[in-house]
Structure 1
Amino acid sequence: MAEFKNRITVSIYDQQYTIIGEDEPGHIRYVAGLVDERIREISKYNSGLDTSRKAVLAAVNIMDDYVKLKEDFEILLHKLEAEGYDHD
């Protein structure tokens, strides 16, 4: 059975992208806006780079944030488990 998917057109660094997903359109637009902000931030300090390199740097920065948050989350889960909290 096919699931309903939202098709949303967003602008990231002045380029239009169609994103298809199950998340709410507002969430998709929010995430795309964050990506756009990150690329523009990188662009301020690296204006000589082409768009592809700016996008790769943005992806590396975003994944760095994600990995750090995931590690912090795991630490918190271990602390909660040590205190007897079951998160399942």
Structure 2
Amino acid sequence: MSHGKIRYKVTIAGKIYTIIGARPEAHLKLVAETVNEQMHQIESLSKDLDSERRAVLAAVNAVSDQFDMQIKLDELQNKVSEMEAKLKENQE
């Protein structure tokens, strides 16, 4: 294991995968459990989809959530910048 990376075996949608990453094992476990849960949710809603299509939908959901979080982060950073500017203005 180089550069602090660990190998972690997980089961997602009934198949075993090996995840390699530098994140803590607890993080990798939570990610795998979340993906597995999403795959099962998609399967329960669309039983006619094969596993590849369910995986693509799970990826689309993940990227969509990532974009939403980035928008929220940008909004918060803008608010912080505005507040810092007001604070500086009040201190002068």
Using the TM superposition, give the Cα deviation of residue 3 of structure 1 relative to its aligned residue in structure 2, in angstroms: 0.8
Matches within 5 A, 1:6-85: 6-84=6-84
Three-state SS of the structure 1 residue aligned to 2:16 is strand
Distance across 2 between alignment mates of 1:83 and 1:4: 39
Distance across 2 between alignment mates of 1:61 and 1:13: 16
Using the TM superposition, give the Cα deviation of residue 25 of structure 1 relative to its aligned residue in structure 2, in angstroms: 0.9
Using the TM superposition, give the Cα deviation of residue 5 of structure 1 relative to its aligned residue in structure 2, in angstroms: 1.1
Distance across 1 between alignment mates of 2:46 and 2:74: 34
Report which of the two has the higher share of helix: 2
Using the TM superposition, give the Cα deviation of residue 13 of structure 1 relative to its aligned residue in structure 2, in angstroms: 0.5
Residue number in structure 1 paired with 2:90: none
Distance across 2 between alignment mates of 1:61 and 1:31: 14
Would you say how many aligned residue pairs link Structure 1 and Structure 2?
84
C-alpha RMSD of the superposition: 1.1
Question: Which structure 1 residue ranges, 5 or more long, are not aligned?
Answer: none
Using the TM superposition, give the Cα deviation of residue 48 of structure 1 relative to its aligned residue in structure 2, in angstroms: 0.3
TM-score normalized with structure 1 length: 0.91
Using the TM superposition, give the Cα deviation of residue 45 of structure 1 relative to its aligned residue in structure 2, in angstroms: 0.7
Distance across 2 between alignment mates of 1:62 and 1:3: 27
Using the TM superposition, give the Cα deviation of residue 51 of structure 1 relative to its aligned residue in structure 2, in angstroms: 0.1
Question: Which structure 2 residue ranges, 5 or more long, are not aligned?
Answer: 86-92
